């Protein structure tokens, strides 16, 4: 059976501390009890898709260590197919230390290095969409060049990707900062159009609490974010990417899919970690209905 989406890239284990005041140099601050949870851009997008009712697999590499066992289990318990998650002896599973501010929900992240899958381990014909992060990009591109699959390609552009080529890309989803760095035009519309001219069919640029920029009839449009009581913004961008694909898969146009993804990402910020607050599709649609009624 062909999956809806195969996510390729990083799966981490995150240790998260919530503090009243972010520490400075040589500071010692008191934290709420630590939370340990699964993370990683592509892996969290996969969990989001599963939570929203989509068939999804994950392709990546973990080590033969306790963190690797936990990373795999955190995906499988959500219904993510881990057939393409390789346990590689001698590799250390990536882990992150995250400090979240109780004042404004912003966070600081320290993470270890990640190992990407071999191109031969990335199936080019397993899903309708392949979604990649900065680690999954290169092996997926090589796999697509040599394979026979016709999967649509989605790129999480939030982190810098060496050698990024947008030719043949179906969805490019950077942050506004990343888009500006890669395409330094005078206007947001100019940056979005430059990315489409570089080859991507769709471009969606996230701008945090301000919302998300898309091109509609070749004109920039800001899809507003939702005002929620955020505990943490941890993983919100990764959640957004998974939800955006879920919206497109159910037939939404780009504006509607982006609004849906904004809602799912906003609701996910109600939890400290990046996954436990991800809503179901029903809960997200109910939230959207409530917000629409309230705005009338």
Each residue's pLDDT tens digit, 98-128: 999 988 888 899 999 999 999 999 999 999 9
pLDDT computed for residue 88 by the predictor: 97
Structural tokens at position 279 = 């809503």
Question: Tens of pLDDT along 25-78?
Answer: 899 999 999 999 999 999 999 999 999 999 999 999 999 999 999 999 999 999
Ordered structural domains, the chain, with CATH: 3-11+43-59+117-294 (3.40.1190.20)
What average pLDDT does this structure show over 143-171?
A: 93
Structure tokens, 238: 């990764």
pLDDT reading at 296 higher than 60:
no
User: Has residue 293 got a pLDDT over 70?
Assistant: no
145-159, 182-196, 241-255, 274-288, range with the lowest pLDDT: 145-159
pLDDT band of 294, cuts 50, 70, 90:
low
Chain center to CA of 213: 16
Start-to-end CA span in the chain (Å): 43
- Name the β-bridge partners of 156: 173
Q: Which two tokens stand for residue 262?
A: 């904004």
Residue 295 has pLDDT above 60, yes or no: no
Banded pLDDT at 24 (limits 50, 70, 90): confident
Q: Is the separation of the CB atoms in 218 and 194 below 8 Å?
A: no
């Amino acid at each position: 059976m062909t999956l809806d989406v195969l996510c390729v890239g990083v799966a981490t284990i995150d240790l998260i501390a919530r503090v009243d005041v972010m520490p400075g140099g040589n500071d010692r601050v008191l934290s709420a009890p630590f939370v340990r949870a699964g993370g990683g851009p592509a892996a969290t997008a996969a969990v989001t898709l599963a939570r929203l009712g989509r068939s999804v697999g994950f392709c990546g590499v973990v080590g033969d260590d306790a963190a690797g066992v936990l990373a795999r289990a955190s995906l499988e318990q959500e219904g993510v197919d881990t057939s393409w998650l390789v346990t590689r002896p001698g590799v250390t599973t990536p882990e992150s230390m995250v400090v979240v501010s109780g004042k404004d929900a912003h966070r600081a992240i320290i993470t270890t290095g990640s190992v990407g899958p071999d191109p031969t381990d990335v199936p080019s014909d397993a899903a309708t969409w392949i979604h990649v992060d900065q680690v999954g990009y290169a092996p997926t591109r090589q796999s697509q060049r040599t394979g026979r699959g016709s999967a649509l390609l989605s790129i999480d552009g939030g982190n810098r990707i060496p050698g990024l080529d947008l030719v043949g890309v179906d969805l490019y989803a950077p942050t506004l900062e990343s888009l500006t760095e890669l395409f330094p035009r005078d206007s947001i519309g100019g940056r979005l159009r430059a990315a489409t001219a570089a080859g991507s069919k769709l471009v969606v640029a996230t701008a945090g609490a301000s919302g998300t920029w898309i091109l509609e009839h070749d004109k920039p449009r800001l899809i507003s974010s939702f005002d929620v009581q955020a505990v943490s913004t941890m993983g919100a961008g990764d959640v957004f990417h998974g939800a955006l694909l879920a919206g497109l898969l159910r037939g939404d146009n780009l504006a509607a899919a982006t609004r849906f993804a904004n809602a799912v990402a906003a609701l996910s910020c109600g939890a400290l970690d990046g996954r436990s607050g991800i809503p179901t599709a029903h809960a997200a649609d109910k939230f959207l209905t409530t917000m629409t009624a309230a705005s009338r």
